Structure 1
Amino acid sequence: MIKKLAHHTGRIAGKVNISGSKSESNRLLILQSAFPNLSLKNLSNSDDTRYLAKALKGNEKLVDISHAGTAMRFLTAFFAAQQEREVILTGSQRMQNRPISILVDALRSLGADISYEKKEGYPPLKIRGKKIDETRVRIQGNVSSQYISALLLMAPGLPHGLEIELTGKVTSVPYIKMTLALLGDIGVAYSWEDNLITIAPKPQIQDRVITVESDWSSASYFYSLVALSEAGKVTLSSYKKNSLQGDSSLVDIYKHFGVRTYFENDSITLEKEKTQLLPLELDLSDSPDLAQTIAVSCFGLGIACDLTGLHTLKIKETDRLVALQQELEKLGADISVTEKSLHLKAGSSINKDILIKTYDDHRMAMAFAPLALKVPIQIDDAEVVSKSYTDFWADFESVLVD
């Protein structure tokens, strides 16, 4: 489906209820499978979360999680420790080309029985669950924090817990801290000193109800809308000032674009204010999922940016750096990328009626949509947004003011 977008007034206003964080929901679903007396509210309604929930509830040998990268990582570790369960864990064609050997090697060092069904180092995986008695593992910290979180979520269910030694510079630290905070919420004892994380075993927990905070990554597209608007004021719920989500850094980042955030009760209100637009230099090592939104915001406002810390974008749903370069160039951008950075020069014009390819990547569709406040634009395969934000288009259109 091609979505044609245009909004000539440049004004936005309204209120939007955004579903629970995909990142928190997916972590909590793994924990709920280990501790059934954990109750969850405001779960994400994203495709990724639905695929994960289905995989955890089912008992089939073949488990297909489609494009859900988080589910692939978390379930690899989860199934490895499920005794007397054998599964083939697979996904979409893109998923079968996303590397997973770093996590598999770490699990094998603990004694897990995992083999590759097709290409070495990539899904699909044959996992024969078994009791894991080893207590210490080493893993690279600079590739994907989801590998580390997969081990953390498995750890409380192991007989002796787990010590995880991280090597190299650690990427996306807020996501690791989120996993640890959720473990702490259910009573799991842990410590993180220097490069060593220790998780104590936890055979059972007390009855617990957790309400999932709404997704800050999903909020980013409304930050971009307000930034690109002539006059914008949008209220989003439900959000916490002291969030576990690394992407809550939006609050500070978007001040650069004249977007102020006001917290009240469980909501945030975003409001456009006059500001001097200056070139942006930003290290996104801790929140790489914001890169597409921020790059498009800069392009739409005509300001230069240098975004670094983006090495994990090469192994996402698509190579997000190359995808960004190709689509922004079609719109008229002067942009270059490396293996881990993006560099956009200031510009004053935007090509109209360009068809944006999304490359099976939900964030490509949502990140480019706010440009409709500047020029008519078309989004290819627009329904891809359901991967993380099922109601995006309805919510997007609800805040456009005639």
Structure 2
Amino acid sequence: MNLYLQSVICNLQSAISITGSKSETNRLLLLQALFPNITLANTSNSDDSEVMQKALNLDSQLPTSNSQLVDIHHAGTAMRFLTAYFAVNEDCEVVLTGSPRMKERPIKVLVEALQQLGAQISYENQEGYPPIRIKGQKITANKVSIPANVSSQYISALLLVAPKLENGIELTLVGEITSIPYIKMTLALLNEIGVDTNFEGNTITVKPLTTNPKPQTLTVESDWSSASYFFSLAALSNEASISLTSYKETSLQGDSALVEIYAKMGVETRFEENKITLVKQPNFKLETLNLDLNNTPDIAQTIVVTCLGLGIGCHLTGLHTLKIKETDRLEALRIELTKLGANISVTNDSLTLVATKEIHSNVKIATYNDHRMAMAFAPLVLKVPIIIENAEVVSKSYPDFWNDLKNIGFQISEL
């Protein structure tokens, strides 16, 4: 499905309700599978979370037959978390697979870490990549090391299953740590159900949970990554007052850094009870942005597109994990932004955009099976009409995205 986006809107006034964070939801779904007396509220309605829930088989017993196939499609988080989950479930054997792109995304670092603990995991085709065969084992070893600069999802996968291990985990991170907020999110959610954790220097310790946590309902905060597109819309508008629910001023999500980042692009964030309101500041002086996004790489696409729309330059670093996402996001950004007339260059871990005042209109933006490519480019409709190819890909994290834009007043038609 290709969508043609137009807008005659200069002043944005709207209230949007965004479902729970995909990152929090997927972590809590795994913890709920380990400890079924946990109840969840405001969970994400994303494809990734639905795939995760289906694979965890929360409403029935775990699969025990040989070679049970578990297909997680494009869901990278599910691939990492489920690798650890099935590895520690005794008498459970699965083959974990996914889309063609998923079979190109490395899993070796996590597999080797689990093998250090005694897990039985083998590759069905190419070494280091899915599909993988997992034979669940009782894990008694607890000391393991992993490179610190890999995707934080590898680290979180190990931490999430640790309370179910006989001796917990003592995890050593080797080198400079990437995406610390996501690791801290995982530890905070573990603490919330009563798990004892410690993160000091490059060592993380998670104690086993010998008794089930008390019955409790955990409410998932709405997704800050999804909010990023409305920050972009506010920045690119003449006037804006966009309210989003449900958000907290003290958030577990690293992408809440949007508040500080978009303040540099003329967007004030006002917190009130369980909502935020994004207000465009008049006559705001814009300057080139220099940002290290090592802790928040998922909002890089939104930021660089916003800068293009504002006619300012940016230099973004800390982006090395973007090359192994749904697509090589750095290369995808270079190709699509160049179509729009941008002067952009990328390296393995950075992106530089030169300020330009002219944006080409009616450009077809390829999305590369990447939900964030579709949503990050959509706010440019406030500057020029654009076409988003394979627009349905947004269902991976934000199925209601196009309807929410229509409700604001955007003209969206299917080609």
Residue 374 of structure 1: which of 376, 383, 392 is its match? 383
Task: Please give the alpha-carbon distance, in whole angstroms, between the structure 1 residues aligned to 2:237 and 2:150.
Answer: 36
Residue 256 of structure 2 is matched in structure 1 by 248
One-letter code of the match for 1:24?
E
Task: Please give the alpha-carbon distance, in whole angstroms, between the structure 1 residues aligned to 2:189 and 2:393.
Answer: 29
Answer yes or no: is the 8 Å Cα contact 2:162–2:168 preserved in 1: yes
In the TM superposition, residue 10 of structure 1 has moved relative to its aligned partner by 2.5
In the TM superposition, residue 8 of structure 1 has moved relative to its aligned partner by 2.2
Residue 187 of structure 1 is matched in structure 2 by 194
Residue 230 of structure 1 is matched in structure 2 by 238
Structure 1, residues 121-141: CA drift from partner, whole Å, max 9, x if none?
000000000101101000011
Q: Which moved further from structure 2: 1-10 or 38-47? A: 1-10
One-letter code of the match for 1:205?
P
In the TM superposition, residue 401 of structure 1 has moved relative to its aligned partner by 7.0
In the TM superposition, residue 13 of structure 1 has moved relative to its aligned partner by 1.4
Residue 265 of structure 2: which of 234, 250, 257 is its match? 257
1:135 maps to 2:142: yes
Percent identical across equivalent pairs?
59
Secondary structure of the residue aligned to 2:286 is coil
Residue 407 of structure 2 is matched in structure 1 by 398
Residue 273 of structure 1 is matched in structure 2 by 281
The 5 A counterparts of 1:154-169 are: 154-169=161-176
Task: Please give the alpha-carbon distance, in whole angstroms, between the structure 2 residues aligned to 1:299 and 1:167.
Answer: 37
1:17 maps to 2:17: yes
TM-score w.r.t. the length of structure 2 is: 0.96
Structure 1, residues 346-397: CA drift from partner, whole Å, max 9, x if none?
0000000000000000000000000000000000000000000010001122
CA RMSD for the aligned pairs?
A: 0.9
Structure 1, residues 173-198: CA drift from partner, whole Å, max 9, x if none?
00000000000000000101111000
Answer yes or no: is the 8 Å Cα contact 1:365–1:384 preserved in 2: yes
Secondary structure of the residue aligned to 2:217 is strand
Task: Please give the alpha-carbon distance, in whole angstroms, between the structure 2 residues aligned to 1:21 and 1:309.
Answer: 23
Answer yes or no: is the 8 Å Cα contact 1:79–1:127 preserved in 2: yes
Task: Please give the alpha-carbon distance, in whole angstroms, between the structure 2 residues aligned to 1:150 and 1:171.
Answer: 15
In the TM superposition, residue 231 of structure 1 has moved relative to its aligned partner by 1.1
Answer yes or no: is the 8 Å Cα contact 2:362–2:386 preserved in 1: yes
The number of residue pairs the alignment matches comes to 402
Task: Please give the alpha-carbon distance, in whole angstroms, between the structure 1 residues aligned to 2:410 and 2:381.
Answer: 13
Answer yes or no: is the 8 Å Cα contact 1:234–1:399 preserved in 2: no
Secondary structure of the residue aligned to 1:221 is helix
Task: Please give the alpha-carbon distance, in whole angstroms, between the structure 1 residues aligned to 2:231 and 2:126.
Answer: 41
Residue 90 of structure 1 is matched in structure 2 by 97
Residue 210 of structure 1: which of 218, 229, 233 is its match? 218
Task: Please give the alpha-carbon distance, in whole angstroms, between the structure 2 residues aligned to 1:192 and 1:67.
Answer: 31
In the TM superposition, residue 400 of structure 1 has moved relative to its aligned partner by 2.9
Task: Please give the alpha-carbon distance, in whole angstroms, between the structure 1 residues aligned to 2:114 and 2:9.
Answer: 54
One-letter code of the match for 1:17?
S
The 5 A counterparts of 1:268-347 are: 268-274=276-282, 275-347=284-356
Residue 81 of structure 1 is matched in structure 2 by 88
Task: Please give the alpha-carbon distance, in whole angstroms, between the structure 2 residues aligned to 1:396 and 1:186.
Answer: 37
Answer yes or no: is the 8 Å Cα contact 1:73–1:147 preserved in 2: yes
Answer yes or no: is the 8 Å Cα contact 1:13–1:401 preserved in 2: no
Q: Which moved further from structure 2: 2-11 or 320-329? A: 2-11
Residue 75 of structure 2 is matched in structure 1 by 68
1:221 maps to 2:202: no
1:178 maps to 2:185: yes
Gaps of 5+ in 1: none
Task: Please give the alpha-carbon distance, in whole angstroms, between the structure 2 residues aligned to 1:123 and 1:241.
Answer: 39
Task: Please give the alpha-carbon distance, in whole angstroms, between the structure 2 residues aligned to 1:230 and 1:3.
Answer: 24
Task: Please give the alpha-carbon distance, in whole angstroms, between the structure 1 residues aligned to 2:354 and 2:149.
Answer: 28
Answer yes or no: is the 8 Å Cα contact 1:135–1:160 preserved in 2: yes
Residue 203 of structure 2 is matched in structure 1 by 196
Gaps of 5+ in 2: none
1:357 maps to 2:362: no
In the TM superposition, residue 11 of structure 1 has moved relative to its aligned partner by 2.3
Answer yes or no: is the 8 Å Cα contact 1:246–1:286 preserved in 2: yes
Answer yes or no: is the 8 Å Cα contact 2:196–2:206 preserved in 1: yes
In the TM superposition, residue 232 of structure 1 has moved relative to its aligned partner by 1.1
Task: Please give the alpha-carbon distance, in whole angstroms, between the structure 2 residues aligned to 1:285 and 1:194.
Answer: 18
In the TM superposition, residue 398 of structure 1 has moved relative to its aligned partner by 1.4
Task: Please give the alpha-carbon distance, in whole angstroms, between the structure 2 residues aligned to 1:140 and 1:384.
Answer: 31
In the TM superposition, residue 143 of structure 1 has moved relative to its aligned partner by 1.3
Answer yes or no: is the 8 Å Cα contact 1:157–1:201 preserved in 2: yes
Runs of 4+ in 1 over 4 A off after TM superposition: none
1:38 maps to 2:38: yes
Task: Please give the alpha-carbon distance, in whole angstroms, between the structure 2 residues aligned to 1:158 and 1:10.
Answer: 55
Residue 50 of structure 1 is matched in structure 2 by 50
Answer yes or no: is the 8 Å Cα contact 2:24–2:220 preserved in 1: yes
Answer yes or no: is the 8 Å Cα contact 1:8–1:374 preserved in 2: no
Secondary structure of the residue aligned to 1:217 is helix
Task: Please give the alpha-carbon distance, in whole angstroms, between the structure 1 residues aligned to 2:205 and 2:263.
Answer: 37
